[in-house]
Amino acid sequence: MKLNRFFGLLILGVLGCSAITACSDDNDTDSSFGPVSSKVKLTLGGIPNAAGGTVVPVWNTGDKAVMYSLGNGKSDPNYASPILPGASTEDFLFTFNGMRNAPSTVVAAYPADAAISCADSKIRYNITAVQNGTPDPVLAGWATGIVNSYEGIRINLKPLYAPMLVKVERGNYSISSVTVKANDGTPLAGELVIDPVENTASASEPTVTVNLPAGVDCSAADRTVVAMVAPVELSEGYTVEISLSTGETLTSTSSEPVKLEPGTYVETGNIASAEATRIAFCGSDRIFILKPDLIRDSYKDAVVWQWDATSIASVLGIKASRCNHIDDCKPVESGKRMLVTSSYNWAVLLDVETGQPVFYTTKATNAHSAELLPGNRVAVACSSGGDAIQIYDISKSDAVVTSADLNSAHGVVWMESKQRLYAIGGTTMAVYRLEDWDTSSPKLVLERSFTSKVKGLHDLTMVDDHTLCVSGQGSWLYNINDDSWKELTLLSNTTALKSVNYNGATGEMWYTDATHPEGSQTWSTHTLHFATNAFGNADASTIRCEDIDIYKVRVFAW
């Protein structure tokens, strides 16, 4: 395994050093092995801590460094103190048996009792396979040069291991252990053997396990667990397994090749519990993602992500005051992206991780919802004033490809099973097929339109591959196979549902209702509703958000 050199390898020429105390033999230019004195400048790097940060120590009075000379069988440790302590970079004068007037490799370490050894031109260090989450405070480094030259030798000291930051998303659980393994079977722990001349490194144990006896509580914030792994190349990436206090095991795999650098952090992406419900809600100029089970005193306790639309005003080319009236925040692509629409005539396909648009338009008059379509396209439902379904290529922002008229369009859903786009507007449901879709002149062809069972249509969501949830004045399930309707009776007395998300497998439901408006707008509410029985007579719970005019709620994960 190739090791990326991390300590500035320094090859020094032979220079005159008459009357210089750092030289061993002022007048001897013959290459020989024997007693030498060597001036060495040692720089301390950062020592990782359990929180994923670093602490850079300084050389203090009483500190010592240890140095080894490689290439002559077993190397004995040699010790020296800083000449002028007080900084992280200091000069040392070492006296030891080594090569004079010829390049040789020396290894230095901090602290002086660092558990490394040198023999047969190799550096050995043990990375324990079972760890506790606190990285070893050991730094080491090497350089090649003429040790008794006037200039001396410079060595940067860093951890011999690569600190891996395992990031775990906030949730109502704690972490009890973390295990890391290479997908190609490369050992990651045990005896680490480094050959600084051949630039190679190898370990002996296949996995690293970090046991956390007290657990790491994730209820208040995202957490990081630090694992020490060998600085080797992983041709097929790595896998992380996280054991939670709930008994659940989270697994995250990266298949990309990676070089683990000594002393250089490698970070996993945020690993989240698949069991945790996550919802998004939007209104005004904000979107929030939260985990309801984290709520204690306020919804803010449970917010795991938030986005301010004014942050993209310059991208959209509009005033910040127009980055408002967000009316939908639909998760797509397994929650990695979100379709965001605004009644102020814009829509974006948002990358959740970066908070930046992948696509945008400011030509969607009174945009109320959007949907991804085949062929890297997106449909936007434009309500009163727009009265159309617009189609865009995601690769071409602000360029309408085609459109279809639909009065007061409010919702669009692509039904893969039927290869049809369903849309709602006013009291009408419309069904479109895609025509000439692989050309530069695609068409939305109206195949069928009919009067909905629901009046005042406002929201359309998919339940399964043959069922749509249609909402406005009440909410009904529409079966596209047989044209049958079934009312969600819990919502029978509502007249202004803005969003309804129904889980057909469990009967759960998240919804927003402006039948009795709350907030500063006729369409707004301050309440997120959750029900476990959509055919019952009461909500199971509600979440109050009194500082935002909420429009819709969407479910990222049930």
Tens of pLDDT along 331-385?
Answer: 999 899 999 999 999 999 999 999 999 999 999 999 999 999 999 999 999 999 9
Identical fold, 32-159 and 278-557? no
- Summarize the confidence of residues 223-233 as an average pLDDT: 96
Provide the CA 530 distance to its chain's centre, in angstroms.
29
Helix (H) or strand (E) segment spanning residue 314: helix 313-316
- Is pLDDT above 70 for 7? no
Q: What is the pLDDT of residue 372?
A: 98
Average per-residue pLDDT for the chain: 91
Residue 473: what are its φ and ψ, rounded to 5°?
-90, 85
Q: What is the pLDDT of residue 212?
A: 94
* Total number of residues shown for the chain: 558
Tens of pLDDT along 116-167?
Answer: 999 888 999 999 999 999 999 999 999 999 999 988 999 999 999 999 999 9
Helix (H) or strand (E) segment spanning residue 316: helix 313-316
Q: What is the pLDDT of residue 72?
A: 66
Domain ranges of the chain: 32-159, 163-267, 278-557
Tens of pLDDT along 266-288?
Answer: 999 888 766 678 999 999 999 99
In angstroms, the CA 40 to CA 46 distance is: 19
**Cis before residue 111, ω within 30 degrees of 0?**
yes
Q: What is the pLDDT of residue 6?
A: 34
- Summarize the confidence of residues 227-256 as an average pLDDT: 93
Domain 163-267 sits in CATH at: 2.60.40.2630
Q: What is the pLDDT of residue 120?
A: 85
Helix (H) or strand (E) segment spanning residue 315: helix 313-316
Residue 104: CB atoms within 10 Å: 22
Is CATH 3.30.420 the right assignment for the domain spanning 32-159?
no
- Is pLDDT above 60 for 388? yes
Q: 278-557, which class in CATH? A: mainly beta
In angstroms, the CA 499 to CA 457 distance is: 10
Q: What is the pLDDT of residue 296?
A: 86
Banded pLDDT at 519 (limits 50, 70, 90): confident
pTM equals 0.70
